[in-house]
Structure formats: structure tokens, C-alpha cells
Structure 1
Amino acid sequence: MAKRSRSTPPAVLFLFIAALSLLVGTAGAVPEAAFSGNVTSGAAPLTVEFTDSSSGSPTGWAWFFGDETYNSTPWIEQTDSAGWNGRIGHTSVVMPNGSIVLMGGVDAGYNTKNDTWLSTDNGMTWTCVNASSGWTAGEGHASVAMPDGSIVIMGGFASSGGKMNDTWRSDDYGATWTCVNASSGWTARSDHAAVAMPDGSIVIMGGDDGSGKKDVWRSTDNGATWAQLPNAGWSKRKGHSSVAMPDGSIILMGGFGGDSLPLKYMYDIWRSTDNGTTWTCVNASAGWSARYDPTSVAMPGGSIILMGGYDGVRKNDVWRLETAGSNARNPTHTYTTPGTYTVALQAYNDDGYNATRKVGYITVTAPVAPSAAFTANRTTGTEPLAVQFNDTSTGSPTVWNWSFGDGAWHNTTDAAERNVTHTYAVAGTYTVSLTASNAAGPDTETRTDYITVSPAPTPTVTPTVTPTSRPPYSGGGGGGGSTGGPDGYNVGGDSAVSKVTVTGTGVEKLIVTGRVQSSPGTGIPPAPGTPYQYVDLVPARFEEITGANITFSVPAAWLAEHGFAPGEIVMHRYNGTVWEALPTWVVGDSGATVTFRAATPGFSLSAITGIEQAGEAVTTPTATQTTPQATTQPTAKETTAAPAGQPTPGFSFGTAALAFGVVLALVAVGHRVRRRRTGR
């Protein structure tokens, strides 16, 4: 029906415009939302990294990934008593700066209101900005803020004229109004709900025209004309509330009514993703009490605020529901269900907000079972054999189950642990398998007799000295250490020693460092012969070492300078009491350097020396007399003395002293003969 226009006093108009200017604020740079994803299609589970590229300096972001359910988080009460008195039939909108404006309604004394209230903190606190706003007091009307900045008010119940179906529009924040349709096509009603959609259309839902309604109407020309959509799936109702979300969906909440008697207050939540054509119930029982005539708004950050209403008493409580998939600037999201997803981003700052949607942006296909595959850094070697296995499966597995063939397994769901090192302690041939799985199923790769482990060599030379505790390590600090495995560990440091092989236990992560010393050290006599280098060999990260072979090199120039043949080079080891000669043999001659190997029962201070041999007899083994690793007394932790009550292995001290004297005599005689022969 038509409404008689009423003039507005200039003073009231001035105050109303001033109040609205405070609400809207000064014009600024409203963000322009934009984004991209690093991938847009793939098999589930599909993880997408989204990147915000919005302009206009946004300070907040609300992401909707297209798989939100609107029921995964509870409603949270913001306050149980807002500053305004309890009421029904009011309406509300969200301003561009994120503030909430609540208007009109009927209070507990059945007084029709035309006051205006403002909240700038998501409904926690409220301020009355206009106690008498100038427009006719009424209730049950619906209002929306359009994308172009205009406001549209529809229908309602005027205290002086009953129910209405007219549509009015304001382009100046409500200062002046124009009737765009005096009879909009839908029946005159109050207590209906309306939303402004992202595409600029307006949707009206339900209400009371003498009985509860569940019809849905849509206008695409700011309310000038209307088209009826199919009846909604929710029951007939009035006094419900609704909001339009940045993802393009409509959320409808609460009300009073039903499709049959008795009528009742409601607290269900319904959602439409096609402009109101079809509806799905997403929550049959929200956390707030069933009520009639609440009002609600969608905030820039993606949350929904519901305010007041009537559940037997007039309410002034405020509730909030978080609905956004993320409020991070650049979020990562994983899609677990196949489908096509529309992604929306709403960017906002103090000057306003802007949303953009990419329809059908993400396509997720059904997961495909992986194809299991793996590699190993070695497949043969002597016991103990450490093997690094690496997963090379395709198809995005999420579970890895390893079987190493010796009764050991490694199972994990952590991608960081899908590669594993396993040590085979016993000689044999082993079959290895990897089962890679994801949501689509498993796949197994089996390699029969993949790993061959040979027995450790049997030692043939056993030094007859008694290992004792070596002096505390006094070499230089710094980095360096061995790297490698049972087939040889590279030795760090600055010495002539390049590699060692060891026998023992717990040596998988062995580190050996060789440091050059200019002298044996305080309290230690010089090593026999002409020293080329004193080397302090220090092992670390092991349990027990029972023997080792040491590989080292001596420059050919040094041998020539001192008149030594390669067979006259001997490595000595200081056992804590005397220097003991180690079996030493030549393993290579490049012309510039000669490479040697020596067998030792353990690591300690060592000396590489030249010993002139009398005549042509050479007592050190040759390259064809390769000696496996010695297996005498262990030196781990660091060395082990002979058990109490048992004889110490090796020569007695007297015998050792006699042998040492004979060696010195031979050295002296040989030296004199050489001096006579060479004229030195």
C-alpha cells in the first residue's frame, strides 16, 4: 500500500547526516581483494597454498575455501546484556568499516522504537548514536546495504498502517528516500528476512502476511521488480534472521512458526549456495535459545553476529559464530574430498571491505593408490653393514611400511621419516620390501635377495702387547672427523692418516680424527727411528673397538731425502708405557706418495717413522701380505686391561726390554755402515 510522505525538520536532518558521517567515517582506500593458489587441481588429499595479492593495504582477511560446513565451531556468547533494552522486530546492517548499526523494533513495554545503536567491537559493547532517528517508528521491516552503497528497506509493520510490501531506497546513507515499488509483488508482510548478495541481487525470505511464510523472492534491479523462487526447504516461519556471506551463500537462522501445529520458537540454521533456490540444514540446534525476531549481520572477518529477539522474554544478548576457513593472509588448506570448490577472499581495513570469488577454482579428483619404489646406497658389504634406504614412491603416499628381511620393520606416517638407515649385523642374503599407502590403498615393492652381507674377515695377526689406557687427548680442537661405513671411514684432521677400517660394536656412527703433534708430549719418549709425523688418533661415537687397519701416506720426496725405502716405514703406537711397532705394509705407490697400511688393536698416539734395516731383510709385511684387522684386547671406552688374576697377554717386560735393546744396537750399527758407505 502507498505511504503518505512526511516532511523532516532541517535540524533533525542535519543531526541525522552528522551521525551517519560518524558511522561511515571519511573516505579512504577500500581494499580490492585478489588472490592465487599454487595449484588448482590434483588428487585428494590436495594441499593448496593460497597467496593474497589484494591492493589497498588490507589489515584483515577472511578466506572461504568452499568446503566450510558452518557447524564445525560453536556459537560464542559475546554479552548477555547489551546496552540497548530487550526488543524484537529490529533490524541491523554492517557498515563498510565493520561497525554494526541496530535500528528500531518493539521493546518490553510494547513501545515501537526508532533509536539507532552502534557497536565497533563485534557486538561486545554498544553506544546509542541517535535516540530518535527521524524515520517512522516501526517493526518487522527488512533492510540491506547494497554493494553500490545504497540502502534498501522492504515491508514491515507500521504502527499507523499495518503490514506493507513497498520497497524504498536511499542513495545518501538514509538522508532521503525514494519509493521504487509501492507494491512489490510479494504479499504485504512483516518479520521477513532479506539479504544483499555479492552479485547485487536482493533476496527476501518468509515472514508473516497473516500466517507464516516460506516463500523466497529475488530482485536483480535494486528492488524495482521481483521474481518468486521455489519454496524453501525450511518450515514456514516469521521473525527469522539472515545474512549473505562472502562465499555467496545465504545463512537463515531461528524464527517462529512451523508447517503444522503447535507453532514453536526455532534455533535451526539453514544455508543456500544458489541465491536461495535450494536449502540445506547445517545445524538443527544452535547454541543460543530458540527465539523469534533476532537480528544478525555478517562481519568483514567472516563471522556472524546474532542479536536479541524473543524466547518468552525480550532478549538483549549477543552471539557470534566463526565461519571463515582462515583469517591468515597467506593460508594453506588441504582438500580431503573430491569435488569442485569455489574459493572466496574478503579483504578489509578501517575504510571498508571487498570480496572476490573464483567459481570452480579448485578441482579435487579421487585419490590414486601410490606406486611403491625405493633405492639403497649399497647392496653388498661385510658385517655389520649399514644401508641407507630412500623412498622414491609416486602417487603421494601418506604411510610407509619397511621390511628389511631380518625381522626388523620401520613404519611411519611422518614424511620426514620415510627414508631410513638399517644395519645388518649378521652375514646373509636379505629380501627388502616397502609398502606405500594413502587413502586410495597400498602398493608394495619387494626386491628378493636385495642385500648381501658377507662375514667380517678373520684376523691373522694379533699384536702381543697389552693395551692400556692412552693419555687424555691433548690434540688441537676444531672440526673434522671420519665419514663412511664399514668399508672404510675417512679420517678428519690434518694428519697423514686418510682412512681406517674397524671391528667392534656400535661403530655405525664412528668418527675418527687425526691431529698432527710436533712432539710426543710431556713424559713420552721419542718413537724409534726418524719420525715423519706424530699423529694423535681420537675415535668418538662407538661402544667398543677390537681392532683396526690404518691407511696413511708418506711423500716420496721425504723418503728420498732421508734415504728410506718404502719397506723401512713403520707405524708405532704408544701403549701408555712404551712404543710398540705395528705390522705395516705398502699398499700403493703413485710416484709422488707411497701409501701404507698398519694393523692396530686400537687408537692412541701414533708415530710414522723410518727405521733403517740391516742388510736386505725387511721384517714388515709387503703388499701381498695384507693383514686383516687385529682382534686383540678392545680399546673401547677406551681400553680394557687384563682381568684380575690372569696373566697379561704378550711378552714380559724383561723380554720386551731385551728386544728393544737389540733393535737399538742394530740401528746404531746400520747407521755407521751407511755413513761409511755414503760418506755422510
Structure 2
Amino acid sequence: MDGCAKSVLRILSCTILVVFLLICTVSAAAPTAAFSGTPTSGSAPLAVQFTDQSNSSPTGWAWFFGDETYEGPWTPVNNSSGWTARAYHATVALPDGSIVLMGGQAGGDWLNDTWRSVDDGVTWELVNASSGWTERIYHTSVAVPDGSILLMGGHSDDGFLNDTWRSVDGGATWTCVNASSGWTRRDGHTAVTMPDRSIVLMGGMFASPWWCLNDTWRSTDGGTTWTCVNESSGWMARSGHTSVALPDGSILLMGGVGAGRTFLNDTWRSIDNGTTWTEVNASSGWMARSGHISVALPDRSIILMGGQDGDLNPLNDTWRSADGGATWTQLRDAGWTARGDHTGVVLPDGNIMLMGGQDDNGPLNDTWRLQPTGSSLQNPTHTYTAPGTYPVTLQAHNSEGYSVTRMPDYITVTEPEPIPGPVHNGGGGGSTGGPDGYNVGGNSAVSKVTVTGTGLKTFIVTGRTQSSPGADIPPAPGTPYQYVELTPARFEEITGANITFTIPAAWLAEHGLSPGQIVLYRYNGTVWEALPTAVTDTAGTTVTFMATSPGFSLFAISSAEQTDPVTTPTAVTTPTTAETTAQATAEPTAEQTTAVPAGDTIPDFPLPTIAIVTGAVLVLAAGGYLVRRWWIRRQNPALFKDYD
């Protein structure tokens, strides 16, 4: 081979190598989320096909269609997660989807171990049994988009701390970046990572009992240096509060406990990295508390969970705000044991994870998950059943990280087009609406009914959807597709009905259901009862069903996942066949984009145990209540020392 040919070969080889490196570099990048939807407007029910247009090869997708109800169940993924049962610890979710858990207290032991899960909390690995930083509780941690973790302050056997530590390898090793960070030594504080990658730290306690702070500090260099941006931020000095950062650059701070053991349920907001603060809700609806957690989701909603009230009773209620903390709505019972001083994060796939804490019996080491997303498919089809204007959010992720995009007011759904009256007149007693039945007006998945009864000559029926069953009615069994109130008119008596309804095949696929698993449930005023349901057509993009019912009321199209009836706390009289059941009041539809997890804890409080002795009889007053507080004091001796 001559020299010219060798030169050409070398150039070609180098070009191939450069192209290969460029391809590898692109494939290793975190995705930039993007999508489109077709159509973006129309009358209900409106089926929209969404198409992922993200770059850099995402491997997972978290869609929020704007009408999520957040009524799904919490599921335990590990009842004993491997790490010692504990409270007052810290956790973060890294861009690659892994969870890192650090320190805390297990019984009388204060910890400095680091654990990691790469499978949504199903299994955990001890990555450092003694992480270098002092054993501590009530510290705070944040994850940075570059994959590093910062851990700040807390409480050790030697008292309050103000150091800052950093890990760049998922908690396997740690480096102290500032042994005395400038802010007062403290515990029970919170910190958040901002969209510009700066860290904002807020409040906390610097001496017992409840000598609290309301300052705000900021670091723009990964915790190496800190600047006080507000010495007195406006909100009451506190610890045991919780904070989140939203992708629009705002910070929300919620609840906690202040001077004089004042438990709080206020919500405050800053739009300038903590420099100034505005109270958005002085009494947010949820019970005043401390030791609770909150997370911000890609759709810009905030979920607040658990904690302990002013009497130190643990809680397991969950609340949601879709408007930056201005208003709050309580969600269904969480299912996990009431607790405080736990932690929680949001993963790139949109799942909310909750870990550990303590209940009345002591520390916990369980891991729970809530999946609030509308879909995890790459290109889902979603059907909007109620008129309204909806934002749509997509968070796309791969092993290198994630990004989120949100389109406000993207989908517009109008009222259903008018449907003609009955196809056939009913006639006299015992007659039906004819072989084709009666068309059903309204916006529901129910299209037709055939009816037996009397006085049906001008019979009509309307179907209206609801986002939930309504007040004082339990959720339907299984995975509900739609709640439907069928309201008949112009009849004397109804003795039976066959109800025809359809479900998009894509919805069944999204939820891993076969047509044979779908059941129409009827709420009879006391329980949800399963009706005989049959598949009548599977052709095309929808599946059609027919169910037989003794009458009309509130129905739920759902999956047959529960055999026991679901009862309300107080039974009501079942309506007669000549009447319809009381209509359930429809609740507002859910709303809206992305997030950074945050949340921290606060010390519990000692109370005396009172014994009354009369002769040989010892009466222990308020035993269970006070012994629990004695246990808390015994578990946290350092928190009740006298400090100079």
C-alpha cells in the first residue's frame, strides 16, 4: 500500500472514530423532553394520541394529562428494607433514579451509614457503614443535577452542627467541603436545590427547647461557601418544617413548630431564592404539625404527608396543592402506618417514595410507593371525559438524568354534542326501549341502555362523569376507569336495565388489564356491588361491554380486583326501583409540572409520667399517652439536655 493510500486510510479511521465518539456522547446524555398531541381540542369524550418527541433516547416516561385524581393506592415495596429501623434520617433521589438514605437514629444509636437502592426501594445496599461525617439526626440533604449529594448540619452527641459534606459517587465516599458553613449550628432545618443549581437552606433549631431560627442562606458553589440572604424571613422561627422547590424557581415552606411549642400549618412562598417571602395561606387546611414531609411533582403539584400533631400523635394523612400552596385537598387514606420523622422523594419516573420514620411502637424501616402518573408509555392515548382546559406534562428520563416539559392549557375539551332522544319509545308496562335501546346523553362512557319498567314512552337518561365517588362514599374496588351517575327521567317505574359502555383498548393496555377483568359496579347506598358484565365487542380501538343492573344510580367502571364489598361508615337506605339514588357531588378535577424532593424533621417533646398512689393501689394516669412520650425522650436524650 502506497503512502497516499495509507494517509487516506488513517484519515478515514480517525473520521470513523470521531463519529463513533460523537454518537456515544449523544447517547449518554440526559434527554430533553418534548411531545405533541392529536387532537388538542374537541367534545367529550376526547381521545388524544400523545407522541414522545424527546431526544437522547429516553428509556422512561412520566405523563401527567392534567386530570389525574391522585386517588391511586400506596403499595409497600419492602416491609423491612435492610437498613436498621430509624427516624430523623435524610434521603435524596439522584438523576439516575437511585435513592440514597443517610444517618438518623435507631433506638438509642445515632448513625452515619449510607444506603442506596437502584430499584425503586425494592432492595437496598449498604455503600458506606461509616461515612466520615459525625453520627447525626435531624440533618438535611439535597441532590444536585450533576449527581452529587450535599449533607448539611444536624445534631450529634456533641450538640448542633453546621458542617457541609459532599458525595459524588452515590454516597460511597464523602468529603467535607465546609467544616463551619457560616450559618448557626442547627438541626430540624430544610434545604432545596434550585433550578439554577444553587442550594437554599432555611430555619431550624439551634438550642433546646425550641430556640428556633427563621434565616435563609444560599450557596452557589455546591456548599463550599454560604451567604445569608435574609436574617429574618418573615415566617415564624421554626424547625421540623418541610420545603420544596418548584421548576419556576419558587420555594414553598410549610408547617413545623416554633417558640412556645407552637405547631404550625401555614404556607410561605419565595420567588427570589429566599430573599423575600410571602404568606400564601395562614391556615392551610391540614392539621398543624411537625416532622412531616412534602415533595413536588413534575406536574407542579405538591404532596404533603404524615408527621405528628401538637399532642405528638403520628399522622398518615396526605394532602395535595395544585396552585403553589394557596389551597389544599385531602387525598385518600395512605395505607402506611401513621408516622412522623420519615423521609420521601420523587423519582424520575414520577413515583413518590416514602421511607422509615417512627410510629407509636418505635422506629420503622419500610418503603412505600405511590404512582400518580397518568401513563408511563412512550406514546399513550388518553381520553378526557369532562369538559375543561388541561395542561399536559412529560418527564422523560434515562440513566443519565431527566428533564420535564409542560404545556399549559394544551387540551381543550368542550361539552358533548347533543345526542338525539330515544331511538324507540318504551310503550306500556314491562316494555323495553326496543332492540337498540335508548341513547344516553351526557359525557360518560355509557352509550346506550335498554330498560324494563312502566311509563317509558318518553323515557330519557343522562350520564355524567365524576372525578371521584363523592363525599362519604368509598372508592370503588379495583382500578376505576370512570365514575358515572346515570340519571333517568320521564318514567313511572324501572325494574331493570342493560347498560352498554366502552373503554379505550389503550387504557386497558396501560393498566395491564384484559377485557375480561372489567366490571361495572353499582353503588346501592351502602356498598359497591359488582354487576354481571360481559364483553360484546373487541374490534377497533375500543372494547364494548354490557352489564345488567336493577336500576340507575352511581356506577363505577373498574377492574375486578376486590371481592369483598366496600362499605361506607354509615349505611343509608337503599332506594326503591321507582326512585334513583341520591346523586354524588362531583369533585373538582386535578391539575398540573416538575419538582425537587425535600422535607425534614423535628424533635419530639418530653412529658412527665404521673403516678397516683392510694394505699396499695397504684393508678397510672394517662398511661399509654405518657409512656409513649417517655419512650421518645429515652430515645432522644441529647435533644433534652440544657444548652448554654
2:463 and 2:325 map into 1 onto residues whose CA distance is 38
2:133 and 2:237 map into 1 onto residues whose CA distance is 20
1:116 to 106, 114, 117: 114
Letter in structure 1 aligned against 2:435: W
1:309 to 327, 346, 357: 357
| Cα deviation digits, residues 525-568 of structure 1 (max 9, x gap) | xxxxxxxxxxxxxxxxxxxxxxxxxxxxxxxxxxxxxxxxxxxx
Letter in structure 2 aligned against 1:85: T
Letter in structure 2 aligned against 1:95: L
| 1:253 and 2:251 matched | no
| 1:213 and 2:212 matched | no
2:154 and 2:144 map into 1 onto residues whose CA distance is 19
Distance change in 2, residues 1:48/1:91 (3 Å): same
Shift of 1:256: 0.1
Letter in structure 2 aligned against 1:409: P
Shift of 1:293: 0.9
Q: Which runs of 5+ in 1 are unaligned?
A: 1-24, 373-398, 419-432, 443-680
Shift of 1:66: 1.0
SS in 2 for 1:88: coil
Name the residue aligned to 1:297. 345
Distance change in 2, residues 1:121/1:172 (3 Å): farther
CA contact (8 A) 2:246 2:296 kept: yes
SS in 2 for 1:122: coil
2:296 to 230, 244, 260: 244
Shift of 1:267: 0.3
SS in 2 for 1:409: coil
2:37 and 2:120 map into 1 onto residues whose CA distance is 30
Letter in structure 1 aligned against 2:269: R
Name the residue aligned to 2:374. 325
Shift of 1:356: 1.0
| 1:410 and 2:436 matched | yes
| Cα deviation digits, residues 448-493 of structure 1 (max 9, x gap) | xxxxxxxxxxxxxxxxxxxxxxxxxxxxxxxxxxxxxxxxxxxxxx
Name the residue aligned to 1:228. 279
Name the residue aligned to 1:50. 50
Distance change in 2, residues 1:184/1:95 (3 Å): farther
Shift of 1:319: 0.6
CA contact (8 A) 2:230 2:274 kept: no
Name the residue aligned to 2:32. 32
2:316 and 2:439 map into 1 onto residues whose CA distance is 42
Name the residue aligned to 2:83. 84
Shift of 1:110: 4.5
| Cα deviation digits, residues 234-258 of structure 1 (max 9, x gap) | 1111111111101000100000015
Name the residue aligned to 1:638. none
2:69 and 2:238 map into 1 onto residues whose CA distance is 32
Shift of 1:128: 2.3
Shift of 1:171: 5.8
| Cα deviation digits, residues 292-311 of structure 1 (max 9, x gap) | 11101111111111000000
| Cα deviation digits, residues 335-366 of structure 1 (max 9, x gap) | 11222211111100111111111112122222
Which structure has more relative contact order (CA 8 Å, sep 6+)? It is 2
How much is the aligned-residue C-alpha RMSD, in angstroms? 4.0
| Cα deviation digits, residues 123-158 of structure 1 (max 9, x gap) | 111122233434454433444446687877788656
SS in 2 for 1:346: strand
| TM-score (normalised: structure 1) | 0.49
Aligned length: 374
Letter in structure 2 aligned against 1:217: W
Shift of 1:402: 10
2:153 and 2:266 map into 1 onto residues whose CA distance is 15
2:126 and 2:103 map into 1 onto residues whose CA distance is 12
1:274 and 1:58 map into 2 onto residues whose CA distance is 29
Name the residue aligned to 1:288. 336
Letter in structure 2 aligned against 1:304: I
Query: What does 1:152-551 correspond to in 2, within 5 Å?
Result: 160-161=159-160, 163-164=205-206, 165=213, 167=216, 176-181=224-229, 183=231, 185=233, 186-210=235-259, 211=261, 212-231=263-282, 232-258=284-310, 262-283=311-332, 285-312=333-360, 313-371=362-420, 409-411=435-437
Name the residue aligned to 2:61. 61
CA contact (8 A) 2:34 2:405 kept: yes
SS in 2 for 1:410: coil
Distance change in 2, residues 1:264/1:408 (3 Å): closer
1:347 and 1:294 map into 2 onto residues whose CA distance is 28
CA contact (8 A) 1:306 1:318 kept: yes
Shift of 1:227: 3.5
CA contact (8 A) 1:115 1:132 kept: yes
SS in 2 for 1:235: coil
Distance change in 2, residues 1:152/1:412 (3 Å): farther
Distance change in 2, residues 1:214/1:148 (3 Å): farther
1:180 and 1:148 map into 2 onto residues whose CA distance is 24
Letter in structure 2 aligned against 1:293: D
SS in 1 for 2:436: strand
1:370 and 1:26 map into 2 onto residues whose CA distance is 52
Shift of 1:183: 3.7
2:244 and 2:130 map into 1 onto residues whose CA distance is 25
CA contact (8 A) 2:76 2:369 kept: yes
Letter in structure 2 aligned against 1:123: G
Shift of 1:401: 6.4
CA contact (8 A) 1:238 1:257 kept: yes
Distance change in 2, residues 1:39/1:236 (3 Å): same
SS in 2 for 1:306: strand
Shift of 1:169: 5.2
